[in-house]
Structure 1
Amino acid sequence: MSVLSDRVPYQAIIDRPKLRLPGDARVAVWVIVNAEEWRMEGAMPRTVLPPPMGQPLLPDVPNWSWHEYGMRSGFWRQLEALTSRGIPTTFAVNGSVCESYPRVASAAKEAGWEFMGHGFLQGPMHKVTDQRDAISRTIDAIAAFAGKPPRGWESPGLTETDETLDLLREHGVDHVANWVFDDLPETIATAHGPMLALPYTVETNDVVVHAIQQQPAAEFLSRGTDQFDRLYQEGADNPRCMAISIHPYLTGVPHRIGFVEALLDHIQAHAGVVMMTAGEMADWYRGEMTRLAG
C-alpha cells in the first residue's frame, strides 16, 4: 500500500465539506506538550552545543543536561501556563517517562491532560528493532500509569516506516499527529481500518522555531499569532484546526515561556475559539462526518 496515493487520496481544502465546531466556533486549537526521555549513554536526539573539535563524545553531558533541565524546571512553567488558563492539553509522552519521570507524568495526570503515545524512548521509528513490541510497550506503560491506553500517537520526530500506521491501528490507536499536510483532520487507510491524521505542525513547533531555525524567543509568539489570525479569518467560511507543539527544554525556559503565555492569551481573547485535546478533535471530526453522511 503506497503511502500517499493509496492511504490518503488528495483533497483540496476548498473542496472539503462544511463542518460545524461546537458553538459555531471558527478555530479548534490543540496544545501538545512533548515529554521525552533522552538516555545519556547514547547520542542525543538533538543538540544545542556542538562537540569540541567537531568530535562527538559520549556521554554528552551538556546536551543531555539541556534536555534534562526541561524535565526538572521547564515543564513546571508550561504546566502552570496551561492549567492556570484552563487549557485542555495533550501530553505526548515516551512510554518510559512514566517510570523514569513519574513526577512529571503524575502532574500531567493530575491536571487531566490526555496522554498520547510518543514512542517508548525518544528515537526514530526507523531505528526501532521491533516496532510492534515498542508500540505495545508504550501503550501498556501509559495504560498502566494513566488508567487507560492512549488513542493517539505522535512518533518521535514524526517518523514512520511503511508498517507503522498498520501496527498502530492494530493496537487500537485511532489518530496520529505525524502528517502535517492539512488544516483539517483527514482519514488515512490502514490494514486494520481507518486512521485519522490530525492537523499537527512543524511551523508552530518550538523544535523548528528555536532548535532548528534558531529564531529569537519572540518569534514563537509572532509566528503563532500570524498562524492563528489567518486561520481565524478563514474559519468564517469553514472551520480550521491549529496545533501548538511545545517541549519543556525549549519553551519552558525563562526567556521563552512568556511568549508562549502571550500566544495563549491572544488566542483565548477571541470569541469563536474552542480548545480541544487530540481525542476531542478526532471525535468531533468523526461526528461531523457521520452527520454529513446522514
Structure 2
Amino acid sequence: MELRNHGRYDYSALPERPVYDWPGGRRLAFCLCNNIEIFSYRSGLGSDSAVLTAPQTHRNYAWRDYGNRVGQWYLFDLLAEHGLPASHNANSAVLRECPQILAKILERGDEIVGHGRSNGERQDGLAEDEERRLIVEATEEITRLSGTQPKGWMGPYFAQSEVTLDLLQEAGYEFMLDWPLDDQPVWMRTRGGHILSVPYSVELNDSPSMVFRQESAASFERMIVDQFDEMLLQSAKRPLVFTLITHPFIIGHPYRLRALRRALDHIMRHRDQLWITTVGGVNAHIRGLPAGTVPGAPA
C-alpha cells in the first residue's frame, strides 16, 4: 500500500541532530501548560467525570465550572509557592466571562496561548472559511482583553484540520502545540512559510490520564516523577523539553492537587539543573539559534 504523507515535516532521527543548550547551559526545559476552558450549558462538547460518552447535563457542566471558580485559584497559589511561571491555553470566552482569572494571569506575568473560543466546539470539522473565522475571533478577543496578541496556539481537543497550520501561520502565530511528535521543537511547513511545533505532552496530561483512562491521582504523580527523572537523565546527551499539562477542573480538586504538589516538590529539588520557562520562551530561544540547528528550519 502507498502511505499518505502529511508533507509538514521530514523524518529526523534524534541522535543525528545538532546539539544545543538552553539558556544558562541547561539541557532540560520545564514548561507547565495549564488549560483554562469554558463550555456551553447543556450543549456542545465537554468531558464528563464518570462516563466518557455522557450527554451534556447540569452536573458535568458544574464539574467543569469548578475549575474556574475554585481549582484555578488553588493552582495559582501552588505555582506561586514554587515561583513557577505558566503558559495558559485559554479559551477567549473564559477570559471574557471570568475577568478575575485574566487579571491574575496578567498580574503574574504568565503567558496566554490561543485555545479557541470555547471548549464546547472543535475546529477540525469546519470549512476553511469557518475555521479561519474561529481563529481570528479567538485571537482578536484575547488580544483585546489582554492587550497582547498570542504567539502560540493549542486547538481544543488537539484538533486540527488539513489547513490549520496554514491558517495559524497566516494569522500571525509563531508556534503551536497540537502535534505531540517529539521532545524537541520541530519546524513545520505551511503554504506560506513555517510554524514551530513546541513539545506538548498528550501522555503527561491530566485530562487523558485521569478522565479518559481513569488513572488515579497517585498514578499521575508517579508518571510525572518518572517522566521527569528519565528526561533529566536523557538530557545529558541533548536538549529536551519537559511539559506538564493541567486542567483546573481536573487537577484542581484537592486530592489531585496534593499529588501534583508532591510531584512539583520532587522536580524543584533539581531546580538548578533546569531551564524553567514557558512554551513561548522555548519558541523565542529556538528562533535565536543558527539556521539548521532545529529540524526543518526555514531557509
Q: TM-score range by the shorter chain?
A: over 0.9
Q: Indicate the SS of the match to 1:256.
A: helix
8 Å CA contact 1:204–1:245 kept in 2: the answer is: yes
Structure 1 partner of 2:123 = 125
**1:103-142 paired onto structure 2 within 5 Å:** 103-122=100-119, 123-128=121-126, 130-142=130-142
Structure 1 partner of 2:284 = 283
8 Å CA contact 1:3–1:162 kept in 2: the answer is: no
Bigger shift: residues 105-114 or 158-167: 105-114
8 Å CA contact 1:37–1:96 kept in 2: the answer is: yes
Shift of 1:103: 1.6
Structure 2 partner of 1:48 = 49
Q: CA RMSD in A?
A: 2.0
Q: For the residues of structure 1 that align with 2:86 and 2:4, how far apart are their CA atoms?
A: 29
Q: For the residues of structure 1 that align with 2:190 and 2:144, how far apart are their CA atoms?
A: 27
Shift of 1:175: 0.4
Q: For the residues of structure 2 that align with 1:3 and 1:47, how far apart are their CA atoms?
A: 34
| Residue 181 (str. 1) matches residue 178 (str. 2) | no
Shift of 1:84: 2.2
Q: Indicate the SS of the match to 1:125.
A: coil
Shift of 1:292: 5.0
8 Å CA contact 1:44–1:63 kept in 2: the answer is: no
| Residue 263 (str. 1) matches residue 251 (str. 2) | no
The Cα offsets for residues 209-253 of structure 1, whole Å up to 9 and x where unpaired, read as: 100111111112100111011111111111111111100110000
Q: Indicate the SS of the match to 1:288.
A: coil
Structure 2 partner of 1:169 = 169
Which amino acid in 1 is paired with 2:196? Answer: L
Q: For the residues of structure 1 that align with 2:41 and 2:47, how far apart are their CA atoms?
A: 12
Structure 1 partner of 2:94 = 97
Structure 2 partner of 1:201 = 201
Which amino acid in 1 is paired with 2:75? Answer: Q
8 Å CA contact 2:42–2:58 kept in 1: the answer is: no
Q: Indicate the SS of the match to 2:244.
A: strand
The Cα offsets for residues 135-178 of structure 1, whole Å up to 9 and x where unpaired, read as: 01111111111111000000001110011111111110010000
Which amino acid in 2 is paired with 1:194? Answer: H
Corresponding residue to 1:85 among 82, 85, 109: 82
| Residue 71 (str. 1) matches residue 68 (str. 2) | yes
Residue-pair matches, total: 288
Q: Indicate the SS of the match to 1:6.
A: coil
Q: Percent identity, aligned pairs only?
A: 28
Q: Indicate the SS of the match to 2:118.
A: coil
| Residue 253 (str. 1) matches residue 250 (str. 2) | no
Shift of 1:291: 8.7
Shift of 1:44: 3.9
Q: For the residues of structure 1 that align with 2:165 and 2:177, how far apart are their CA atoms?
A: 11
The Cα offsets for residues 236-288 of structure 1, whole Å up to 9 and x where unpaired, read as: 11111111110011000011001112222211211310111111101112222
The Cα offsets for residues 176-198 of structure 1, whole Å up to 9 and x where unpaired, read as: 00010100000000112110001
Q: Indicate the SS of the match to 1:255.
A: helix
Shift of 1:94: 0.5
Shift of 1:127: 3.8
Structure 1 pair 43–133 and aligned structure 2 pair: CA distance change class (3 A)? closer
Q: Indicate the SS of the match to 1:165.
A: helix
Structure 1 pair 111–3 and aligned structure 2 pair: CA distance change class (3 A)? farther
Q: For the residues of structure 2 that align with 1:141 and 1:222, how far apart are their CA atoms?
A: 38
- Where structure 1 has 5 or more consecutive residues not aligned to the other structure, the ranges are none
Q: For the residues of structure 2 that align with 1:127 and 1:82, how far apart are their CA atoms?
A: 36
Q: For the residues of structure 2 that align with 1:33 and 1:9, how far apart are their CA atoms?
A: 30
